[in-house]
Structure 1
Amino acid sequence: MTDLGQPALNKGTKPFSRFEWMIAGRYLRARRKEAFISVIASLTMVGVAIGVATLIVVMSVMNGFRGELLTKILGLNGHFTAYPIEREFTDYKETVAGLQDIPGVSFAVYFVEGQVLASGRGNSTGVTVRGMDEENIKKLKLLYGAASQGGWDNWDSSNGIAIGYRLAQTLGVSLGDQVQIINPDGAMTPFGSTPQIRSYPVTVIFDLGMVEFDSFFMYMPIEPAQDYFKLYEDVLKPGQKPLDPMATDEEIDAAYQRVGQASAAEVFIDDPDNITVMRQRIESNPNTRPLVLTDWQQRNETFFSALQVERVVMFTILSMIILVAAFNIISSLIMLVKDKSSDIAVLRTMGATRGSIMRIFSITGTTIGFVGTLAGLVLGLIVSANAEPLRAFVSNTLGVAIFPPELFYLSSLPSKTDPVEVTVVVGLALGLSFLATLYPAWRAAQYDPVEALRYE
C-alpha cells in the first residue's frame, strides 16, 4: 500500500499542489455525518460576508455624506471669506475685481448679510438674509441652478426675495406671496430704536437639497438689501462744494449721491486644499484693500473633524464583525481537525508531510474567508450603488423616516465608494481569514499518526 501511495503523495507535497486542493475541497463539501461542521463553516462564511458588506456600505455612505456636504457648503460659501478692515467696504466691486486677478482664484463675489425675523401666514422664524446681484448669483452655479419655482431673470430690478422650499413650507407661502421681514435695529426716534418692518414678494423658491440652506437662507437684490440694513452713506458728488446749512431737500438730493456698502466677499479658489499658499497670495496682493480672511477649514473645523473621527471609529467597530467571523473560522477548523484526526494519520502514514497537512487546512479555512469576502464585496457594492433607493423603499415600507434630513442635513442619502477603502476592507478580511487558519492547521500537522490510529 505504501509503495503504491508513496509516489502520488510525493508528487503532491509541492506547495499548494493539486493533491492538497483536492483534499481541502473534500473537507469543504458537506456530508451527512459532517453536517454540523458544514453548518458552522457556512455561518462563518455568512459572517465574513456581512462584515465586509457592512464595512463597504458604511464607509461609502460616510464618504458620500462628507463629499456632498463639502460640495453644498463650498458651493455657496467661498473657500475664503474676506472681511473689510480700516474703512467701510464701499469699494467692494474693485476689491472683487482685484481678487479675481490673483493666480489660483476661480472667482469672487460680494454680498450684504444680516439677521432678521421672517413672517409669513401666521408663522415666523429667524433667517439669514443675503443681498446679491444677478451677476454674482450666476457665478454660484449651485444656487443659480437650484430654482425650482420662478427664476433669476431680471433679479436686480425685481425687488423680491428668494427663499428655500423648506422655509416656504415653514412660513406657509408660495410664489408671489408677501413675506414680512423684521429688523430690530430700525429707525431712531426720541423714544429709542423702532423695529424696521418691510414686506417683499417671493419671486424665487430654490431647492439646494441641504436643510440648513433651504430652511434658513433668504436672498434679495443687493440694493434693496443695502437700503434695508442701512449699509450706505451719502457723499458729495465729485466737484460738488459743501451746501449751505439752509439748503432745501431738492438741493441736497441733487448734490449728494448714495454709495452702498457690502458686508464681505467670498473667494473661490481652484484647489480647496491649497489654503496656506492662497492665503499668502491674497494677503500680499497689492491690488486689494486690507482684508481679514477666514478659510473654510477654520469655519467648519469642528464639523469635519467630528466626521473624520466618526469614520475612524465606525471602521474600527465594524471591523470587529470580520474579527468575530475569523474566530469562527478558528473554531470550525479546530472541530474539523478533531473530526478528521484519523484521516490526517492515514495521510501521514502514506507520506504526506507536516507542511502538506498545514496547507490543506489553511486552504480550507482561507477558502471559507475568500468566498465570504467575495460575497460581501458584491453585496456591499450593490447596496452602496443603490443606497438612496433602498433607503426610500425601506422608509416607505415601514413608514419610518430613516436618516431624516432634519438631523442629517441632506434630503437624500449619498454614497461614494472609494476603491482604496474597498481594497483595504477586502485585504483586511482575507488577511484575518488566513491568520485564523494558522493555529488549527499547525495543530493538525502535529498529530502523531500512531496515537491517532491506536484506537481505530
Structure 2
Amino acid sequence: MSEAVSKKGAGPFSAFERMVAWRYLRSKRKETVISVISMISFIGIMLGVATLIIVMAVMNGFRAELLDRILGINGHLVVQPIESGLDDYEEIAARFNGIAGVRYAIPHVDGQVLASGRRTAGTGALIRGVRAEDLAKMDSVSGNIQQGSLEGFSGDQGVAIGSRMAESLGLSVGDPITFASADGDVTPFGTTPRVKSYPVIAVFQLGMSEYDASVVFMPIEEAQLFFNSDGVAQSIEIFVDNPDAVDELRPAIEDAAMRPVFLTDWRQRNQTFFSALQVERNVMFMILTLIVLVAALNIISGLFMLVKDKGRDIAILRTMGATSGSVMRIFFMTGAAIGVVGTIAGVILGVIVCLNVESIRQFFSWLSGTTIFNPELYFLSQLPARMDIAETISVVLMALTLSFLATLFPAWRAAKLDPVDALRYE
C-alpha cells in the first residue's frame, strides 16, 4: 500500500487530501491563534460580501426609484418640431401609439408662470398642458391623487397642482390659484402680462419635492389659449416599455412623424445626474471590495502560520509518499474553504438584509429615536433595495477569486518545504 502511494501519490483533491485539509481547519488548543485568524478571515469575507450585495442593491433601488419618479411625468423620448409648430399633434401622436414598444405618446404645451394663492408670496411654476385622457394614463400622477379627482379636468374647469405647492400657497381643492405670465395680450401700448385664476380640482404627490412644488397640470386647450398657441402643441413626449432601448425606436419614430423633428431622450436630459449615480456606484464597489481584500490577506497570514506550525506534519506526509502537489492542494483547500464558506454566508446574510431592509430601517429608527432616511430629504418614502442577479454573481466571483489567490502563495511555500530541513531540529 505504501509503495503504491509512493509511486502514484494521492489523486488530486482525493479523500485523503480533503481529510487532512479538514483536520487542519479544526481548532486545537495549541492552535488557538491560527483558529482566531481563520475566524476573523471568515467573518471579514462574510461581512464584505454581504455589505457589497446590500449597498449595490440599495443603489440599484435608488436608481430605479429615481428613474420612475423623474420619468413619471417626463417622457423617455421628446419629439420637437424643427420647421413649424405641431398643429397636427393628434394625428402624429396616434401614429406614435401604433409603434411596437411605445406605451403612449402625450402632446403638451409648457410655460413658466408665477403662481399665487391665498398667501401673498407667489412662487414660480411650470404649467404643463395635456389632454385629460393622457393625464389619466400617467400613473405617477393619476395614481397619487391626495385630494380631489381628475374627473373635471377639461376646458377651464380647473387644474391639478402638487402637494408642496398647495402647502406653500395655502391651497386645497376648490380654492382658486392665480397664474401670471409675461407673454400676454398685445396692445397698442405693448404686451401686457396675462393673469387668470383657475380652481384647484386635484392635489397630487409624486414623491419628488421639485415636481410637487412646481408642476401644474392644465387642460391642453386652456394652456394653448393661455400661452397664445391656439391649436398647436410644443412637443410630444413618448413613454416606452423599455427606457434603456430608446435608441432602437428612434428610426420608427422619425418615420412615423412624417416631418423633420428633433429627438432627445431621457439619458441626454438627465446625463449629469445619472452619470454621477453611476460613478458613485462604481466607486462604492471598489471601496467595499477592500473589505474582502483585507479578509483575504488574513487568510494569507493564517495559512503562513499554519504552514510554520505544521512543518513537521508536512515532512512526515512527504516521507510517506505525498507529493508536493498533494501538499499544495491540501493547504489550498484549507484556505479556500474559509473563502467559500464565508462567501456563501455573506450571500445569505446580504439577501436576508435586502429582503427586510425597510423593517431594519424602521427598527433602527425606533431604537435611535430619530428618523433614518428622512423622506423630505431623500424624496422617497421607503428605503429601496433591488438585487441584480448578474451583479450578485460578480460579487461572489470576485470574493472567491480573491480568496483563491490568497491561498496560492502559502500553499506553494508549503509544497516547497524540504522534509529534511523540517525534521532536522525535531
Normalised by the length of structure 1, the TM-score is 0.84
**Aligned equivalents of 1:328 and 1:378: distance in 2?**
22
Specify every segment of 5 or more residues in structure 1 that has no aligned partner in the other structure, as ranges: 233-259
Q: Which residue of 1 aligns with 2:288?
A: 318
Shift of 1:189: 5.9
Which digits, 9 at most, give the CA deviation of each residue in 1:180-236, with x for residues without a partner?
33323334567655443333332212232333333321112223322322322xxxx
269-278 or 25-34: which moved more?
269-278
Specify every segment of 5 or more residues in structure 2 that has no aligned partner in the other structure, as ranges: none
Asked if the contact 2:5–2:322 (Cα under 8 Å) also holds between the matched residues in 1, the reply is no
Matches within 5 A, 1:6-405: 13-102=10-99, 104-122=101-119, 124-156=122-154, 159-188=157-186, 193-232=191-230, 260-285=231-256, 288-405=258-375
Shift of 1:92: 2.2
Asked if the contact 1:211–1:410 (Cα under 8 Å) also holds between the matched residues in 2, the reply is no
**Aligned equivalents of 2:118 and 2:31: distance in 1?**
73
Q: Which amino acid is 1:280 matched to?
A: P
Among the aligned pairs, what percent are the same residue?
54
**Aligned equivalents of 1:86 and 1:419: distance in 2?**
47
Which digits, 9 at most, give the CA deviation of each residue in 1:356-401, with x for residues without a partner?
2111111110011111101110111112222333334334433455
Which digits, 9 at most, give the CA deviation of each residue in 1:99-150, with x for residues without a partner?
3344554321111211122334535432211112211112323322222322
Paired residues, number: 425
> In structure 2, do the counterparts of structure 1 residues 360 and 92 end up closer, same or farther at CA, with 3 Å as the change threshold?
same
**Aligned equivalents of 1:88 and 1:8: distance in 2?**
89
Asked if the contact 2:6–2:320 (Cα under 8 Å) also holds between the matched residues in 1, the reply is yes
| CA RMSD, Structure 1 to Structure 2 (Å) | 2.7
Find out whether 1:446 has 2:416 as its counterpart.
yes
Q: Which residue of 1 aligns with 2:401?
A: 431
Shift of 1:310: 2.5
**Aligned equivalents of 1:10 and 1:164: distance in 2?**
83
> In structure 2, do the counterparts of structure 1 residues 273 and 120 end up closer, same or farther at CA, with 3 Å as the change threshold?
same
Equivalent position SS for 1:159: coil
Asked if the contact 1:9–1:19 (Cα under 8 Å) also holds between the matched residues in 2, the reply is no
177-186 or 356-365: which moved more?
177-186
**Aligned equivalents of 1:201 and 1:412: distance in 2?**
33
Q: Which amino acid is 2:210 matched to?
A: E
Shift of 1:441: 0.8
126-135 or 10-19: which moved more?
10-19
Equivalent position SS for 2:330: helix
**Aligned equivalents of 1:11 and 1:19: distance in 2?**
13
Shift of 1:12: 7.3
Equivalent position SS for 2:222: helix
> In structure 2, do the counterparts of structure 1 residues 22 and 93 end up closer, same or farther at CA, with 3 Å as the change threshold?
same
Shift of 1:49: 0.8
Q: Which amino acid is 2:295 matched to?
A: A
**Aligned equivalents of 1:27 and 1:184: distance in 2?**
82
Q: Which residue of 2 aligns with 1:236?
A: none
> In structure 2, do the counterparts of structure 1 residues 299 and 447 end up closer, same or farther at CA, with 3 Å as the change threshold?
same
Q: Which amino acid is 1:215 matched to?
A: A
Asked if the contact 2:156–2:198 (Cα under 8 Å) also holds between the matched residues in 1, the reply is no
Asked if the contact 2:315–2:420 (Cα under 8 Å) also holds between the matched residues in 1, the reply is yes
Q: Which amino acid is 2:246 matched to?
A: I
Shift of 1:323: 1.4
215-224 or 87-96: which moved more?
87-96
Asked if the contact 1:210–1:411 (Cα under 8 Å) also holds between the matched residues in 2, the reply is no
**Aligned equivalents of 2:341 and 2:71: distance in 1?**
42
Which digits, 9 at most, give the CA deviation of each residue in 1:132-175, with x for residues without a partner?
22111123233222223222213215722212223333334333
Shift of 1:324: 1.6
**Aligned equivalents of 1:306 and 1:125: distance in 2?**
29
Asked if the contact 1:12–1:19 (Cα under 8 Å) also holds between the matched residues in 2, the reply is no
> In structure 2, do the counterparts of structure 1 residues 194 and 405 end up closer, same or farther at CA, with 3 Å as the change threshold?
farther
